Amino acid sequence: MGRKGMGKYIDKRTPATFKIQITSMVDMFVILLVFLLKSYSTSPTQINPDKNLALPVSTSSKPPVDALKLVVSKAGIFVEDKKIIDLNQGAVNVSDVDASDTNFIRALYTELDQQAQKSKSIAKVNETLEFDGKVIMQADRDLPYEILRKVMYTSMMAGYSDVKIAVMSTR
Amino acid sequence: MRAFRRPKTDDSTYDLNLAPMLDIIVSIIPMLLLSVVFVEITVVETPVPQAVERAVAAQEEKNEVQITLSVSKTSGFRLVVNEKGQAKETNIALKGTELDIEALKKEIIQTKLRYPNIFRVELNPDESVPLAEIVAVMDGIRTKSKNDPTITFTDVTTGKPMETDLVFPDVVFGNVAGG
């Protein structure tokens, strides 16, 4: 090939830019988008259980409501992410319960009472809010009724008598 | 002779520009990934009776039917139906070392057929019963399964018979405040 022929060949070559085929990538993203939209939560209240907390499984399909969050794990009792007392392998230490009433957890009552007073004082100035005594209890599935009874009894004494147990839905 | 020349025409096929669509999808996906729920959390209603309210309710329901279900890891279930002061007791033994929830379901459906207008059960678990089993019992007595007979109750407002899948949806822990 002479000098002239080489020049013609260089001119006829395809340009250096090229197009990426993104059709299959868009297909994949659309499938992902549909899956994510299906599992998108529209509930106003979100409960994110702790990784060390195994909630019981239930067929209940009632969505959670906006209420005070009470966590009872094997390690301790928490109110709105604040640790109230330590539990010894799911049992309340003797020093944490009232001597005359073994179902009454003093520190938990103090915290719940404070929360109730705060809610009541807000409800006084804001007519749209009302203290309804609702509490969502996230409790470990292996905990015995003994500890749950103590927690429910104490919350009842503090004015939180509408206890809702958080569960993992099987539906 | 002049050579025959075909007129130049545009190609009828063309490439769709998917880049803007891809931009939108890439923007939406991180937002959805942040708010996605892989485990759905629901709640089970367990209102705790206030001591005074309980006493008042007991007074009011003196002549009504009261159903109490005791759960024990050593003796199984004990279903007590108290009607006008007369108590009828049914015991369901353990199945091996586990609670026999299937037998309880059968018994609870028979009880419901006898008292279709009662929706409340007082649950009294023993202190050793774990929460998972309490929730399983509550699930078992809340609704009927497809094979169970039809439950018909009388609507309080209209007085007409109505069918329902609910058996005892109103479960109250009876032994929280003592007992």
* Virtual torsion, Cα B51, A123, A47, B49, nearest 10 deg: 10
For residue B97, being part of any structural domain is answered with yes
Contact state of B18 with A26 under an 8 Å Cβ cutoff: yes
The predicted-structure confidence for A13-54, as pLDDT tens digits, reads as follows: 666 777 778 888 889 999 999 988 887 766 666 777 777 788
Mean pLDDT of A58-72: 87
pLDDT at B52: 41
Contact state of A140 with B131 under an 8 Å Cβ cutoff: yes
For residue B152, being part of any structural domain is answered with yes
Contact state of A63 with B43 under an 8 Å Cβ cutoff: yes
Output the six-digit token pair for B154: 């009388």
Distance CA(A144)–CA(A45), nearest Å, equals: 27
CATH code of B98's domain = 3.30.420.270
Output the six-digit token pair for B26: 């890439």
ipTM: 0.76
pLDDT at A44: 66
Residue type, B131: L
- Helix, strand or coil, per DSSP, at residue B10: coil
Residue-level pLDDT, tens digit, chain B, 179 residues: 455 666 555 567 777 788 888 899 899 888 888 877 777 778 887 765 554 445 445 545 555 788 999 999 999 999 999 887 788 999 999 988 899 999 999 999 999 898 888 888 899 999 999 999 999 999 999 888 888 888 888 777 777 888 888 888 888 888 877 65
Residue range(s) defining the domain that contains residue B63: 51-173
For residue B6, being part of any structural domain is answered with no
For residue B80, being part of any structural domain is answered with yes
How many C-beta atoms surround the C-beta of residue A151 within 10 A?
23
How many C-beta atoms surround the C-beta of residue A39 within 10 A?
13
Question: Judging by beta carbons within 10 Å of its beta carbon (0-12, 13-18, 19+), is residue B59 exposed, middle or buried?
Answer: exposed
Handedness of CA A17, A22, A24, A25 (dihedral sign): positive
Each domain of chain A, given as residue ranges in start order, spans 3-38, 57-169
The total domain count for chain B is 1
Distance CA(B144)–CA(B16), nearest Å, equals: 55
Distance CA(B80)–CA(B87), nearest Å, equals: 6
Which residue in the set A26, A60, A171 is minimally distant from B43, CB to CB? A60
Contact state of B130 with A41 under an 8 Å Cβ cutoff: no
Task: Using a pLDDT cut of 90, give the percent of chain A over it.
Answer: 32
What is the distance of C-alpha A7 from the center of its chain?
Answer: 70
Instruction: Out of 3.30.420, 1.10.10, 1.10.405, 3.40.50, select the CATH number for domain A57-169.
Output: 3.30.420
Distance CA(B30)–CA(B90), nearest Å, equals: 56
pLDDT at B68: 92
Q: What are the b/e assignments for B71-107, b being 16+ CB within 10 Å?
A: bbbeebbebbbbeeeeeeeeebeeeeeebbbeebbeb
For residue B3, being part of any structural domain is answered with no
Give the contacts of B82 (CB within 8 A, at least 6 positions apart): B65, B66, B67, B68, B88
Closest CA relative to residue A97, chosen from A157, A151, A159: A151
Residue B41's closest chain A neighbor by CA?
A: A168
Distance CA(B158)–CA(A139), nearest Å, equals: 41
Question: Judging by beta carbons within 10 Å of its beta carbon (0-12, 13-18, 19+), is residue B57 exposed, middle or buried?
Answer: middle
pLDDT at B103: 92
Q: Which residues of A touch B44 (CB under 8 A)?
A: 58, 60, 62, 164-165, 167
Query: Residues B143, B169: contact at Cβ < 8 Å?
Result: yes
Output the six-digit token pair for B54: 């309980």
Query: Residues B176, A149: contact at Cβ < 8 Å?
Result: yes
What is the distance of C-alpha B89 from the center of its chain?
Answer: 26
For residue B26, being part of any structural domain is answered with no
Interface subset of A 90-129, CB within 8 angstroms of B: none
Distance CA(A113)–CA(A146), nearest Å, equals: 22
Distance CA(A168)–CA(A49), nearest Å, equals: 10
- Helix, strand or coil, per DSSP, at residue A62: coil
What is the distance of C-alpha B7 from the center of its chain?
Answer: 74
Distance CA(B67)–CA(B132), nearest Å, equals: 22
Contact state of B29 with A65 under an 8 Å Cβ cutoff: no
Give the contacts of B141 (CB within 8 A, at least 6 positions apart): B69, B104, B105, B108, B121, B167, B168, B171
Distance CA(B155)–CA(B160), nearest Å, equals: 5
